[in-house]
Amino acid sequence: MFKTRSENKQGLKIIIVGCGKVGNTLVEQLSREGHAITIIDKNAQRLQNISNLYDVMTVEGNGASFSVQLEAGIEDADLMIAVTSSDELNLLCCIVAKRVGNCSAIARVRTPDYNNEANYLREQLGLAMIINPDYEAAKEITDILCLPDALEVNSFAHGQVEMVKYKIEEGHILDGITTSEIVEKIGSNILICSVERNGEVFIPRGNFLLKKDDIIYFVITRKSSAVMFDRINIKTNRVKNCMIIGGGRSAYYLACNLLHMGVDVEIIEVDKARCEELSILLPKATIINADGTDEEILKEEGIENVESLIPLTGIDEENILLSLYSKQVSDAKVVTKINRINFKGVVSKLDLGSIIYPRYIVSEEIIAYVRAKNNSKSNSIETMYHLFDSQVEAIEFIIDTESEVTDVCLKDLNIKKDVLVSFINRSGKIIIPNGEDSIRVGDSVMVVTKQSGFHSITDILD
């Protein structure tokens, strides 16, 4: 079945196979950016639901079928994205698309066996990208557990720069000072990028006054992080032990990361067969066959004394209740994984500690690739994150060519409102810029903005 698409859309022709959580998120964000999207799925009701919400074309059928892909327009498509629940189907969709059309292809692959061979598969099959939401979620949780006071930690410049989300408590050194005073009182290797106050988000100027209960994002160089975190009283000691509720793929990937760092790991999983499998895969972890949502079980396993608790059940409501319970009975660092995004307004008001949305982790990688592919200029996007429920974007551009923004002092550029150049990476040297600094060819530059859809560094100009 088809729905007619409006004419004169700019952007790429994109085919998405799979209309689940990730597929829906991609449609939501990519359609907003003006791309011509066709969805393939076997489920007619899913297709009807998404076509009622977005201006997309839909094709009912098997996404790996040659005839179905032809019907979807694969011959003149720019990009195929396969995000069904089957790794094998996703890979087959991409193989067929590469043979039939002249498009790039992205596959979601979640199974650990394939994940270990991701680079090989990508190169041999000629894929633009292989994405694994469970693995990426585990990496993000690991970063947070290495910095327990942070709500979120994102990496830029190949790990040389960290963007940290943090809530300012009353009496904190940042409580009651302006952003311009930070250099004098704390140092020049930290920059406040965005602030959320009472639901409103700001890109702060120099005279912006920080207050208690503000939730901020700041960038800091990895090289100076230990000193700077000490100055602003943020604990840098990683957790020593972790209790994980649920033994799925994300739990496996997270346990691998934590055990490699010397963290004691306990996994509570209700399925006996999965426990036996995990005990073989993770011999250094403690595997408990029990219902991790049972209060008595949690007390028996010592929830009051653990340093971190990560609920990774397949049910968002259970993850939320476990996080709230842990907050009541322990001082554990809690990270809550949420798969669906219904009721985000309600969830954001709960004291859940750090929250991660795997579908957004995946969609950000894909959107960064799409924007770079759709950009007629040479400047490409290296990394992108959405902050504050997508109200703010943090984008790292690679500067390949000269343009209106290169070799001009930042203070002399007519930069748009609510846009901040947060760091410049020049041959491995990280510059937290002031007005006298300039962008040069060969740099990578991170921009934080409340405006959406930036494809090139020149988009920062008014």
| 408 inside domain | yes
User: Which pLDDT score is estimated for 189?
Assistant: 85
Last residue of a domain, one of 316, 332, 356: 356
**What digits encode the pLDDT tens for the residues 141-183?**
999 998 988 999 988 998 899 999 999 999 999 999 999 899 8
Residue-level pLDDT at 341: 63
| Nearest partner of 281 among 323, 253, 321, judged by Cα | 253
Q: Walk along the chain (462 residues) in steps of 10 and give the mean pLDDT of each run.
A: 41 94 90 92 95 94 96 95 96 95 93 88 93 92 92 90 93 92 86 93 92 94 86 86 97 97 97 97 97 95 96 93 95 90 70 86 87 70 87 93 94 95 94 94 95 90 92
In this structure, are residues 164 and 430 in contact, taking their beta carbons and an 8 Å threshold?
Answer: no
> What's the burial of 113, exposed, middle or buried (CB within 10 Å: 0-12/13-18/19+)?
exposed
Are the beta carbons of 136 and 361 closer than 8 angstroms?
Answer: yes
Q: For residues 151 and 165, is the Cβ–Cβ distance under 8 A?
A: yes
**How far is 142 from 255, CA to CA, in rounded Å?**
9
Residue type, 172: H
Residue 251 resides in a domain: yes
Q: How many domains does the chain have?
A: 4
Same domain, 159 and 203: yes
Q: Which two tokens stand for residue 365?
A: 């990688």
Asked if the structure places residue 120 within a domain, the reply is yes
Task: Looking at the structure, tell me whether residues 352 and 245 fall in a common domain.
Answer: yes
Does residue 336 fall inside a structural domain?
yes
Together in a domain, 292 and 386 = no
Q: Looking at the structure, tell me whether residues 247 and 352 fall in a common domain.
A: yes
* Helix (H) / strand (E) containing 423: strand 419-426
Q: Which residues contact 440 (CB under 8 A, 6 or more apart)?
A: 399, 406, 407, 426
Same domain? For 347 and 389 the reply is no
| Distance of alpha carbon 329 from alpha carbon 17, whole angstroms | 44
Supply the CATH number for residue 97's domain.
Answer: 3.40.50.720
Phi, psi (deg, nearest 5) at residue 209: -90, 120
Check whether residue 117 and residue 33 sit in a common domain.
yes
Largest CA distance in the chain: 65
- C-alpha separations of 370 from 191, 412, 435 in Å: 29, 31, 31
CATH number where 443 lies: 3.30.70.1450
Question: What's the pLDDT at 223?
Answer: 85
What DSSP designation does 84 have? S
pTM of the model: 0.86
Same domain, 110 and 34: yes
Residue 137 lies inside a defined structural domain of this protein? no
Q: Judge whether 168 lies within some domain.
A: yes
Q: Residue 119 and residue 328: Cα distance in Å, rounded? A: 43
| C-alpha to C-alpha distances, 41 to 44, 60, 65, 81, 82, nearest whole angstrom | 7, 5, 11, 12, 10
Do 339 and 408 fall into the same domain?
A: no
Which residues lie closer than 8 Å to 413 by C-beta, 6 or more apart? Answer: 405, 460, 461
Instruction: Please give the residue range of the domain that contains residue 390.
Output: 363-460
Determine, yes or no, domain membership for 382.
Answer: yes
CB 172 within 8 A of CB 212: yes
Quote the tokens at residue 460.
């920062």
Domain presence at residue 143: no
Q: What is the pLDDT of residue 379?
A: 61
350 and 371 belong to one structural domain: no
Question: 378 and 330: one domain?
Answer: no
- Other Cβ atoms closer than 10 A to 75: 11
Residues 102 and 172 both lie in one domain: no
Instruction: Identify the pLDDT of residue 431.
Output: 94
Q: What confidence tens digit (pLDDT) does each residue in 182-192 have?
A: 988 888 889 99
Q: Are 341 and 436 found together in one domain?
A: no
Q: How far apart are CA 279 and CA 273, in angstroms?
A: 10
